[in-house]
Structure 1
Amino acid sequence: MRDMAKELLKMTRDEVAEAVADFPVAILPLGATEQHGHHLPLGVDVYLAEGISRKLAQRTGALLLPSLPFGYSWVWRDIPGTVSLEQHRVEGVIKDVAKSVQRYGIQLLVLVNGHDANNASMKYAVRELQDELDLTVIHLFYPNLDNVMKTHCESPTWHGMVHACEFETSLMLALCPEMVDMKKAVREYPKKPLLYGKSTISLGDLSKSGVYGDATLATKYKGEAMITEFLNTMEACLLQAYKSS
């Protein structure tokens, strides 16, 4: 494992050129700016994607790109602090980044996502790029999430969703503990309306706290254990994709 990640923003043009020649792989963390209850900051999805990406870059020697701080956050649009991009714009940014890094020699772009609503944009951007560029792109979002949570989390999800819950709070305690106020952590499982998912009823209409699950059960230990499992799978995916690129 390398001691320091190769962070693009902190490097000179010569250092970037050398890094790309040595290992032509780049990692793009994707996040969002939206509420995560009263105990977590709005940047949770950014901090988690960036923190995991940095560790993945340290393991592999890949180039760490600046994080995308905005995603599709329509459901929280009326809560102060939210910044939401239209879904096709997220897809467009991913494609623009891919086209940029491919020009100076990157052969594999790894998308590491911390925001569930970005998954559709990643999926379609990668498909379109397959037909447009001679570049391999893979997208990763907490691999084997269900099994990892069954092993390390005590509380159930809210209908399969993770948001400001035991899972995300545990990851934040492992990566950014100074930003977590466990005294404000709560447990909330809002009632799911019949028309949820079939209408414009959104998450912002349902929860009083902004928590979907039980944040009170979160611990740093759980977060560290889950991050290790995610990283093991992500590293294997990255290396396999690179060999095939």
Structure 2
Amino acid sequence: MSDLADTWPHLSEQLRSGRPAILAIGSFEAHGPHLPADTDTVIATAMAHELARRASGIALPVLPYGATSRPRSGGGDVFPLPALRIPTLFSAVSEIIAGIVAAGARHLVVITGHYENASVMWDAVYEATHKMPCRAVVFDAPWELIDAHVLSTTFPDGVNWAADHGGLLETAIMRHLAPDRVGEAPAPWDLTPRNYDVLPTPDDAVPANGIVNDARNVTADDGAVLFNAMLDGLETALRREQFLP
């Protein structure tokens, strides 16, 4: 549910009435040979609009650029595409939030579809809201709200989130949300990712296709279950914080 096509006075009135403003942050980066570069933004947009529907909220335009992934997750400097450095992302998020709070937002939800954006979200929201009459809920890892039983049933071998860039979860959800934009997932990497970074990035730090985990067998049905479970977790959290009507 969104009122962004309406006039500023109506938008401001709706925000001041307590309807939550929902800001999602995506990214534009390599996601292997099978997923589009805007995968995180597609997922973030879908989350924001579904959450707005459930919470009678206002989905703001999604920020389509995010922080650079680390090489050990299958990203980094080996696959250059437009991204925001951490200080720039911090400024962008805090300034966007300051603007919507100034417009009247009293309840704010900030959510990311991209793992590396999490490092700035709490500080950016705090910077923009700590002196204002606005409550905020920050979801910097929404996948962690997927019910454990659902997750273990879908992925019985577990998921290493830090290495799942373009992997199990994103492939499954994109097969659900945008199946015509998903190709065949590649075979998994035969090396173990480092759990630390090295600069310059060694040749063996990143798989040639950017994909660490094996996503060949995930399905659109898996994606639907996981996406809805993630939204259920977000909705439960907002209900706990009394953000729902």
Q: TM-score range by the shorter chain?
A: 0.7 to 0.9
Deviates more, 1:21-30 or 1:145-154: 145-154
The structural deviation recorded for 1:24 is 2.9
Structure 1: 4+ residue segments shifted above 4 A: 202-205
| AA at the equivalent of 1:163 | H
Structure 1 unaligned regions, length at least 5: none
**Residue of structure 2 equivalent to 1:64:** 59
Match of 1:49? 44
Structure 2 segments unaligned to the other structure (5+ residues): 71-75
Q: Is 1:208 aligned to 2:223, yes or no?
A: no
Q: Distance in 2 between matches of 1:33 and 1:55?
A: 21
State the shift of 1:203 in Å.
Answer: 9.8
Secondary structure of 1:36 counterpart: coil
RMSD: 2.6
Q: 1:178 to 1:154 in 2, by over 3 A?
A: farther
Rounded Cα–Cα distance in structure 2 between residues aligned with 1:207 and 1:241: 41
Deviation at 1:134, TM superposition (A): 3.0
Once the two structures are superposed, the pairs formed by residues 135-150 of structure 1 within 5 Å of their partners are 135-140=134-139, 141-142=141-142, 143-145=144-146, 147=148, 148-150=150-152
- AA aligned to 2:15 is V
Question: Relative to 1, partners in 2 of residues 1:167 and 1:159: Cα closer, same or farther, differing over 3 Å?
Answer: closer
Give how far 1:158 is off. 4.9
Structure 1 residues 36, 65: closer, same or farther in 2, change over 3 A? same
Superposition TM-score, scaled by structure 1 size: 0.84
Larger relative contact order (Cα-Cα within 8 Å, sequence gap ≥ 6) = 2
**Alignment correspondent of 1:240:** 240
**Paired amino acid for 2:34:** H
1:27 is paired with a residue of what secondary structure?
A: strand
**Distance 1:63-1:27 versus aligned 2 partners, 3 A rule:** same
- Structure 1 residues 204, 44: closer, same or farther in 2, change over 3 A? farther
Provide the TM-score with structure 2 as the length reference. 0.84
The answer as to whether partners of 2:147 and 2:229 remain within 8 angstroms in 1 is no
Which whole-Å CA distance do the structure 2 matches of 1:17 and 1:107 have between them? Answer: 10
Same amino acid, percent of matched pairs: 23
Aligned length in residues: 235
Partner of 1:197: 196
Q: Show the counterpart of 1:167.
A: 169
Map of 1:93 onto structure 2: 92
